[in-house]
Chain A
Amino acid sequence: MVTVFIRTLLIYFILIISMRLMGKRQVGELQLSELIVTIMLSDFAATPIYETDIPFSYAIIPILLLLSVEVILSFIILHAPKLKILLGGRPSLIIRKGILDQKELARQRMCISELISSLRQQGIADINNVEYAILEENGKLSVFEKAEKKPPSAECSGIDICEPGISHSLIIDRNIIARNLENAGWTEGHLKDELRKLQKSPRDVLLFSVNDCGETTIIYKEEQ
């Protein structure tokens, strides 16, 4: 039982390090080789946990081997686009300029009801509203609506607006996030001044965020 316990911990940390070294995409949207590596890693990691007759090296060596091969292959693919296509396929244009490519749909073994379902999931109720639909290498469908179906933008309406950008969380659960302060162009002193105007301090705040237009969002901690 001690063996299983220690092996589980060791393999867990080794996997975290391996997945971290492979990059964010391993966790998010997976390419084909990355998906295969993830599936294989889980099997290599799990077997030595409960099969205590198997030496620990039977987990470590395959994990490290997959890690190094995946990293090397990713680098080679970066410099060899044809190999990328060979291993990962290429995006497929399912709808082009508003016209459905039925041959491409059949080639991708996708039926029309699946396409309609994917469009619905992206908030598009009518296929006629779609200018382009692209089936990406990772199986996700990217959809671009026709311009006349999109809500008018501020630019089209001639409205001059401030670009809000992203919201920078300056305080999270009472803690001041120095990196986000820097990104937002604020100082700690400025932050505390703003809170002082509201007769508050960082210790009273659950969330304090500011966007690029200087608009703040504050959620105070509830008293327990």
Chain B
Amino acid sequence: MKSFLAGLITLALLITAVCVNTFYIIKKTDGLIRSLERLPLECSEADTTAFSEEWESSKAWIALTVHRENVDEIDYTLELLRLHCRSGNKEGYLSARQKLLCIAERLRETESFSLSRIF
């Protein structure tokens, strides 16, 4: 009986942890997507820095439960975004901005309660 209860509690804790983690990641990625959409089409270092700080604040937790490849891709693209912004490369900046949006949306879809990626 004790082991059954321990198993049940473990299962309940796991389900809770998975759900809490999913809600957290969805919330954070939604925030990142909104921030990216609010980034002006004309580059602004202040805005890109603000976005970078927002990402850094969420990164540690997201990296615990998400494939490292996604996290690295965001880091890399963010660096590109800042680089293009500093160098005044508008096309590069817009391309990096769009890529970040795609990655964030993909991350949200991967971590959401959806059966689309089961098979």
Query: Hey, which bits of chain A sit against chain B, CB under 8 A?
Result: 21, 52-57, 61, 64-65, 67-72, 75
Contacts and interface: CB of A to CB of B under 8 A. Distances in A.
A54 B67 contact: yes
B14 A65 contact: yes
Interface residues of B, number: 18
Q: Say what secondary structure dominates the interface of chain A.
A: helix
Given A61-B18, A65-B14, A72 B7 contact: yes
A38 B24 CA distance: 32
Contacts of B4: 71-72, 75
Interface in B17-34: 17-18
A67 B6 CA distance: 10
Nearest to B21: A57
A21 B9 CA distance: 14
A56 B63 CA distance: 10
Given A21-B3, A64-B14, A68-B8, 15 more contacts: A53-B67, A53-B68, A54-B67, A54-B68, A57-B64, A61-B14, A64-B10, A67-B10, A69-B7, A70-B7, A71-B3, A71-B6, A72-B7, A75-B4, A75-B7
B41 to A, nearest CB: 34
